[in-house]
Chains A and B, each alone.
Chain A
């Protein structure tokens, strides 16, 4: 290439004299090739008066190629000191006004391109010890000129102006000071886009023994970026890094990210180019404001989860280390971190503090303390979380969370994650919680007694929650047991629950006091087999209620009789022997029995087993003095109609009418 260039220069000078005497001379030059560069079909045309045209049939530069390039110079000055063109035009894809000069004695080349108004690209080449110094200055340069060189896989640049300079020294040093403004990019799907971005970039590269030392600092001065799902606005965030590059690995020795309002992070690492892997890395972020971190970084990732809309406060410090085998160490320190479900108030934890020292290949223990919280608007007391960690396995021997006047117990909690996803299980229960406080807090009819429930084994795999053994609950002086409990797709739009429920020995006086139903004294057993809820509404079950066996007072009030009759529909009410029974406030009974088999939104009703009469079924079988028998006549009722009846009855809209 050098030879070709020398030939061209010599020819130019030789021809100068000839051109003066002739009209036009055309000269064809051999192909010129160099590293990553080739030019073919070069033709120089000299016309009298200094007008000159240089044509290149095909020019290749790196991956890019152009055809039929033409440089016209209205007045090519060939002088003793050098060659100059003050008024040229470069015909590339567009017409670009250009001027250049080459000083032969100093061997300095200056090229100025003015592709658009207010846009100038200036190239200066000058000899230096060991090679050439090159400087490129740009004023108002459009970044769109780089489009052909950018990989098609990245979002497309659509605007941006560059100002600044890049200096290359013959000794290998490079320094760049650039200022980008009004930068914009977007992909077709709209998932990644930036608008009006301002950046100042400062970078230096310096050769050192066997390696290159580099440092760079980028400050984000303006604009906004959306990178699904994160939206960030410029706030003078600054990314600085320095390190070495030896051709095989890129080493960051000191890096820092300053994020005004959130906090700072420091990082270092080594990236192996051949393995395309981070072989060593470390990041530390001390005292990050949780609220700012949550709002600007975490929140978009939590959309659709329980944590989508939180009020947060406190500070968190974190350190992490990776090597070629992956994440090795995470140390998190929580300082009075609080968060609560902002809109729905389903949960909250206050003043969570402590250390979480996780190691990939060692057993460690986190000591976390929580000063208080809320669960479904019920207050939680202070508790500690002694979480044992060992790689992807987490264990909690015992967690005791005070709730109202009782507590929630979680025992033998184990969670692990593997290639198939996550898995967790625990046993536990709740104990000593006053039902009146509990029901009042939940906003349901007030019940009395103490809530004691045992959770035998709760397991979660993927989106299914399974309870092995029986979930048992002590309420209304009896027990409620749920067996074969399975929750499918619990966080989905239509969660499904399957279970068999058995209730034993419930005190009917306590039950009826809770719901304004009139008063019944006695004991009741109930079975609900094959219960299936979709979106927490029953779609299928076979339920039976029956008086418990044994001796106990059996009394039913006038109001309860009326209500039971109302449940059976208009026909049942007629069965009350009104004539003289209206004088009694309460009656004796022998058995109460009622069944509902729900299928396809219809409830098939039945009464006390073995007491069916030709005209209907017996719901309350009389006994004692005065006795009363309540009959049901309609065997089928739509589930929705039955619900409406229960609602009317329990809301006390039906007043017992005793004539």
Chain B
């Protein structure tokens, strides 16, 4: 009986805390800030797409992008690719933050990030590399 009550409380805590953001956050919300970030990401995508295709860059579980296979990027282009990745991750962090802010729940940022992380991975084109639950690179 006691265990059952404890389980109920645990379930309630999970629903009230962690699950709430994903369930209630409006991920499609639009503000000028979000539009600006999305515009900047969209512009960058034309440069990132061939790197996803070649497997040089992959999508991480935590909603970022990462240099998966450095050896496939010539040294002369390494800095530009690293800059591209850093800028993309900066935008992604800003996007998660802005969406949380626009939902009037800045504290949801981490969960919005993980929801988006899964979303990007689900939407990745075949042939791209994404991280699985064990953070291992898998070709989609």
A residues sitting closer than 8 Å to B (CB atoms) are 186, 188-191, 193-195, 224-226, 228-231, 233, 300, 303-304, 492-494, 496, 534-535, 537, 539
Contacts and interface: CB of A to CB of B under 8 A. Distances in A.
Given A229-B82, A231-B78, A304-B87, A189 B36 contact: no
Contact of A492 (B71, B76, B82, B94): B94
Contacts of A230: 79
A224 B75 contact: yes
13 contacts: A190-B70, A190-B82, A193-B78, A226-B75, A228-B79, A229-B82, A233-B76, A492-B94, A493-B33, A493-B91, A493-B94, A535-B36, A539-B31
Given A229-B82, A534-B33, A493 B40 contact: yes
Contact of B75 (A188, A229, A231): A231
A189, A228, A300, A535: most-surrounded residue (chain B CB, <10 A): A535
A493 B89 CA distance: 12
B54 to A, nearest CB: 14
A493 B70 contact: no
A224 B78 CA distance: 12
Interface of B: 31-37, 40, 67, 70-71, 73, 75-76, 78-79, 82-83, 87, 90-91, 94, 98
Contact of A535 (B35, B76, B82, B90): B35
Contact of A494 (B67, B70, B78, B98): B98
A233 B75 CA distance: 10
Given A225-B75, A228-B82, A493-B40, A189 B67 contact: yes
A537 B94 CA distance: 17
Nearest to A224: B75
Contacts of B36: 493-494, 534-535
Contact of A304 (B32, B33, B83): B83
Nearest to A303: B83
Contacts of A231: 75-76, 78-79
A191 B73 CA distance: 11
B70 A189 contact: yes
Contacts of B70: 186, 188-191, 193
A356 to B, nearest CB: 29
A494 B39 CA distance: 11
A302 to B, nearest CB: 11
A229 B76 CA distance: 11
B73, B75, B83: most-surrounded residue (chain A CB, <10 A): B75
A494 B75 contact: no
A230 B79 CA distance: 7
Contacts of B75: 193-195, 224-226, 231
A387 to B, nearest CB: 32
Contacts of A189: 67, 70
A229 to B, nearest CB: 5
A598 B14 CA distance: 38
Contacts, number: 69
B37 A226 contact: no
A231 B78 CA distance: 8
A74 B125 CA distance: 63
A191 B75 CA distance: 10
Contacts of B91: 493
Contacts of B35: 535
A486 B94 CA distance: 20
B87 A494 contact: no
Given A224-B75, A494-B32, 6 more contacts: A190-B73, A229-B79, A229-B83, A493-B33, A494-B98, A537-B32
Contacts of A534: 31-33, 36
B90 to A, nearest CB: 7
B36 to A, nearest CB: 4
Contacts of A304: 83, 87
B112 to A, nearest CB: 16
A492 B37 CA distance: 10
A304 B83 CA distance: 8
Nearest to A533: B32
Nearest to B90: A493
B31 A226 contact: no
Contacts of A186: 70-71
Nearest to B77: A231
Contacts of A193: 70, 75, 78
A248 to B, nearest CB: 39
A34 to B, nearest CB: 43
Nearest to A194: B75
Q: Across the A-B interface, give the 9 residue pairs with the lowest CB-CB distance, nearest first.
A: A190-B70, A494-B33, A535-B36, A537-B32, A226-B75, A534-B33, A226-B78, A534-B32, A535-B32
A77 to B, nearest CB: 50
Given A190-B73, A193-B78, A226-B78, A539 B32 contact: yes
Contacts of B34: 494
Contacts of A233: 76
A188 B37 CA distance: 30
Contacts of B76: 224, 226, 231, 233
Nearest to A191: B82
Given A229-B83, A304-B87, A493-B94, A535 B78 contact: no
B35 to A, nearest CB: 7
A222 to B, nearest CB: 13
A612 B71 CA distance: 72
Contacts of A190: 67, 70-71, 73, 78, 82
Given A231-B79, A300-B79, A494 B71 contact: no
A40 B129 CA distance: 51
Contacts of B33: 493-494, 496, 534-535
B71 to A, nearest CB: 7
Contacts of B79: 226, 228-231, 300, 303
Nearest to B66: A189
Contacts of A494: 32-34, 36-37, 94, 98
A539 B71 CA distance: 46
A190 B71 CA distance: 7
Contacts of B94: 492-494
Contacts of A303: 79, 83
Nearest to B40: A493
Contacts of B67: 189-190
Nearest to B87: A304
